[in-house]
Amino acid sequence: MAESRQGNEPSEPLLLDKYRGCLMGVLLGDCIGGLFDFQWRIDSLPPRRVEQIEDSIWSHLKNYVQPSLQYTDDTSMSLSLAESLLKNCGLDPKDLARTFVDRYLHEVNKQLCYAQVPYDVFDVWEEMHFEGDIFAPARRRFGGVGSTGNGGAMRAAPVALFCGGDPDALVQAYAVSLALHNNAPLDVELFLNQLLEFNRRLEDGLLEKPFTKRFEIVRQLLREDNVEATEVVRQLGHSVLAVDAMPMALFCALRSLKPIASVNREHEIERSIIYAISMGGDTDTIASMTGAITGALFGMKQIPSSWITMCEASEKLLAVAEKLFLHASAKIASSCGSD
């Protein structure tokens, strides 16, 4: 079933810019958010935390050789997913597993970023030589019911970019897809209605509908002026759970479409990333997911060049974004999988 879009479909050059902006938003949120990961909880949100974030950004820009910020497992696994999708012109679970493990083994300085669960699964995949039921280790690890963590949502942006206009992905990927194919200014109510309808189909038949409930809370919070961060965190959460992280990222992205008194930034992408980090908790993942949405909506034109050079692998992310765009545009279908 075709989904309605707001406004006119972006032109081809603008769409490429939005692809780049999306993955750059992933990287920026991850790198800057990683500086504050789990430093602040709901009961310990310092009043001057935005100033701390701004001071840290300024310090890294002025006092360090660039790039001075490293990405974490969030960007690493997003890159692996994008590269495997491009290599195979679609999802190849065994190749994706091998790509995850290869990058993990080669990025020794990032191994501490990973939770224990992926490491355990990676170890079993190697023992299996990436053969057989590649999903079995994760099923066993989570008792057959799947993980409730935010890792899947965190890595969802490449899925939306790879699929182009086909929103056949999970909620975060669909939010990115909606942002990608709409021009600012965004009709927030329509955006939320489309996202809620998509999510209701996903949760149809479930006794509990956690995401639907959270997205309704997002709608209510967006209607309030100057809602306190502690109240947002109390209602949405900022943990590693997907049911916390995805609604929080959505709220931060949509709230940043208007000025925020505490965040003195003119452009929405910068504002959204800093605002997401100021919510505390799992800051690298939530800010990365937030940046993916606002980056897809506004594109590269809003992102300061200094922020780009501050983060490692920015050129690689931009190159991958262009490949995803070309694939989605069906311009290099015959060469998909080549180097």
| Alpha-carbon span 250 to 228, nearest angstrom | 16
For residue 47, report the phi and psi dihedrals to the nearest 5 degrees: -65, -25
71 in Cβ contact with 317 (< 8 Å)? no
CA atoms within 13 A on the CB side of 10: 26
User: Per the annotation, does 75 bind a ligand?
Assistant: no
User: Per the annotation, does 17 bind a ligand?
Assistant: no
Written as one string, the DSSP assignment of 201-247 is HHHTT-S--HHHHHHHHHHHHHTSSS--HHHHHHHH--SSBHHHHHH
User: Per the annotation, does 282 bind a ligand?
Assistant: yes
| Alpha-carbon span 134 to 136, nearest angstrom | 6
List residues bridging with 311 in a β-sheet: 69
Per DSSP, 316 falls in state: H
Tokens standing for 23? 């993955």
124 in Cβ contact with 137 (< 8 Å)? yes
User: Per the annotation, does 72 bind a ligand?
Assistant: yes
Written as one string, the DSSP assignment of 252-309 is HHHHTTS-BTTB--SSHHHHHHHHHHHT-SSHHHHHHHHHHHHHHHH-GGGS-HHHHH
10 Å CB burial of residue 65 (0-12, 13-18, 19+) is: exposed
CA atoms within 13 A on the CB side of 40: 26
Displacement of CA 275 from its chain's centroid (Å): 15
User: Per the annotation, does 294 bind a ligand?
Assistant: no
List residues bridging with 69 in a β-sheet: 311
User: Per the annotation, does 309 bind a ligand?
Assistant: no
Which residues sit in the known binding site? 72-74, 282, 284-285
Which residues sit in the known binding site for Mg(2+)? 72-74, 282, 284-285
